Chain A
Amino acid sequence: MKEKIITALNRVTKSGLNSFWRNKWVSTATISVMVITLGLITSLFLLSVVAGSILTDLEQKVDISVYFKLSTTESEIIKVKSELEKISDVKSVEYVSRAEALAKFETEHENNPLIIKSLEELGENPLEASLNIKAKLIDNYESIASFLESTRFSGMVDTVNYRQNQKVIEKLSSILGTVRNSGLIAILALGFVAVLVTFNTIRLKIYSMREEIGVMRLVGASNWYIRGPFIIEGVLHGLVASLVTTIIFYPILVLISPKIAAFLSGIDIAAYFRNNFFQIFFLQTLVGVFLGVISSLIAMRRYLKI
């Protein structure tokens, strides 16, 4: 029994390889369509990576600061800090002491003698200590700001700069949300179209072979014996298409990556592609093989009914 299965597998594989080679033009056409599909899917994937990193970058630039009245002691501020850190929405809190604030202010304005001079004339440090707070999500700032504005802290807190920035932060939050959602919809829609095109190409190929499938049935072949070579062919189409896509894709990425990096600082897609090469290639191959095999099986069903 085991030997029979091995023989059958051997024959099916051989027949699949044979048919892949003998139907060169059909294979080429199927692979070309698949390359376009995989290329599109990979581009969409990389695009979403780029967009995602831009969005995260923007998001990370947002923070709020709370300024404490000059009378507040450092230990009181540290207490507030540790309380803030306990809130689950808070990502990080950074304490900037009065001395640090002054040092920073001075270095920022060292080329402006007027400001430096007026500071000297003042004689003491006029700057307030502050906490810089980053939230995990851009939508969390509202609640953090409200927490700091509560009466408990009214004795210490001078200002929370959220209110000044509220409009900008809210606007950014809504833009980010829209971009993410519509991007996802666009990716899904385009991906769906690409999959459909491949499916139809394979369906046409199977349609052109419907008589052969019938003949195989009439000669006494079981359904799995008929499906076998088509599955092997589907796997081969997916594999070759994935390879071709990578071979075409990588040089293009290397070419355009510096241009994108110049436009959006800090994003190197070629490097991203290199670092995640195996995941991307594996996913690409998986999609290709899955498409090739499943489309064949679905398209064959009705011709196997004889």
Chain B
Amino acid sequence: MIHFKNVSKIYPPHMVALENVNLIIKSKEFVSLVGSSGAGKSTLLRMLIGEEAPSMGEIIVGDVSINSLNHKEMPYMRRKIGTVFQDYKLLPTKTAYENIAFAMEVAGKDDSEIKEDVPQVLSLVGLEDKANQFPYQLSGGERQRVAIGRALVHRPDILVADEPTGNLDPVNTWEVVNLLLKLNELGATVILATHDNSIVNNLERRVVLMEKGKVVKDDAKGKYLI
């Protein structure tokens, strides 16, 4: 379970990015976080992975308060949360295989485990034949699938996707969304931030609408109407 408790974020001197956000996400839920650019979706997700700290309030994942973790404990938390970004954030000097393996290496997994899991993940995201390509040799959709592969190789309980389809064409968009759905079926909590209403309206899952740093609407089977 993820619980945002009275979370506010103020960038000095007085830019309010989030204002008193309260949000509970149950485990194994698929939640779409929608709203226009600047509504605070990314800020909320960045706080969930500890990239930024809230000015006020608390974020609890399971039974751990994220903002009370110190710099050394943070990596362990992050290994439990898979993250996918709009700009992929792949390591440019590592191949697709190595990018995915890296996430397992930092967690101290055995070589034998890595050799077994990475090809599985690569075939799950449909890139078994691109394992040795570097990111610059891959298309946008392929890069994002590598990033998703990296996010799910830990079998994380939570998958955070911040505008994962923002740079993709419709065909690739649906491939990525279907992957997220598949992961959700396998038991991961998925939080998808997007401003693409065609995705949200076809999903028919929970939709949380944000505007100017506040949660303004929360529907169990929502639509995103602009």
Residues of A within 8 A of B (CB): 4, 7-8, 11, 18-19, 22-23, 211-212, 214-223, 225, 305-306
Query: Could you pull out 27 A-B pairs where Cβ atoms are within 8 angstroms?
Result: A4-B108, A7-B108, A7-B111, A11-B105, A18-B93, A212-B92, A215-B89, A215-B91, A216-B91, A217-B78, A218-B89, A219-B83, A219-B103, A219-B106, A219-B150, A220-B76, A220-B77, A220-B78, A220-B106, A220-B107, A220-B154, A221-B75, A222-B75, A223-B71, A223-B72, A225-B106, A306-B51
Say whether, besides A22-B93, A212-B91, A306-B51, A217 and B75 are in contact (CB < 8 Å).
Answer: yes
Residues of B within 8 A of A (CB): 49, 51, 71-72, 74-79, 83, 89-93, 102-103, 105-108, 110-111, 150, 154
Interface core residue of A216, A220, A222, A223 (most chain B CB under 10 Å): A220
B-chain residues with CB within 8 Å of residue A11 when the two chains form the complex: 105
A-chain residues with CB within 8 Å of residue B79 when the two chains form the complex: 220
Cα A72 to Cα B75 with chains together (Å): 90
B-chain residues with CB within 8 Å of residue A217 when the two chains form the complex: 74-75, 78
CB closest residue in chain A, given B110: A7
B-chain residues with CB within 8 Å of residue A214 when the two chains form the complex: 89
Cα A122 to Cα B20 with chains together (Å): 119
Instruction: Please determine whether B83 and A218 come into contact, CB atoms closer than 8 angstroms.
Output: yes
B-chain residues with CB within 8 Å of residue A212 when the two chains form the complex: 91-93
Instruction: Please determine whether B106 and A215 come into contact, CB atoms closer than 8 angstroms.
Output: no
CB distance from B197 to the nearest CB of A (A): 28
Cα A4 to Cα B89 with chains together (Å): 27
Instruction: Please determine whether B103 and A220 come into contact, CB atoms closer than 8 angstroms.
Output: yes
CB closest residue in chain A, given B150: A219
A-chain residues with CB within 8 Å of residue B110 when the two chains form the complex: 7
CB distance from A303 to the nearest CB of B (A): 13
Instruction: Please determine whether A220 and B75 come into contact, CB atoms closer than 8 angstroms.
Output: yes
Instruction: Please determine whether B90 and A23 come into contact, CB atoms closer than 8 angstroms.
Output: no
Cα A22 to Cα B134 with chains together (Å): 11
Instruction: Please determine whether B108 and A218 come into contact, CB atoms closer than 8 angstroms.
Output: no
CB closest residue in chain B, given A21: B93
Cα A212 to Cα B51 with chains together (Å): 14
CB distance from A11 to the nearest CB of B (A): 5
Cα A18 to Cα B107 with chains together (Å): 20
Say whether, besides A23-B93, A212-B91, A219 and B102 are in contact (CB < 8 Å).
Answer: yes
CB closest residue in chain B, given A19: B93
Cα A23 to Cα B150 with chains together (Å): 23
Cα A19 to Cα B75 with chains together (Å): 23
Cα A4 to Cα B107 with chains together (Å): 10
B-chain residues with CB within 8 Å of residue A306 when the two chains form the complex: 51
CB distance from B187 to the nearest CB of A (A): 20
CB distance from A233 to the nearest CB of B (A): 11
A-chain residues with CB within 8 Å of residue B92 when the two chains form the complex: 212
Cα A7 to Cα B74 with chains together (Å): 21
CB distance from A86 to the nearest CB of B (A): 66
B-chain residues with CB within 8 Å of residue A221 when the two chains form the complex: 75, 102, 106
B-chain residues with CB within 8 Å of residue A216 when the two chains form the complex: 91, 102, 106
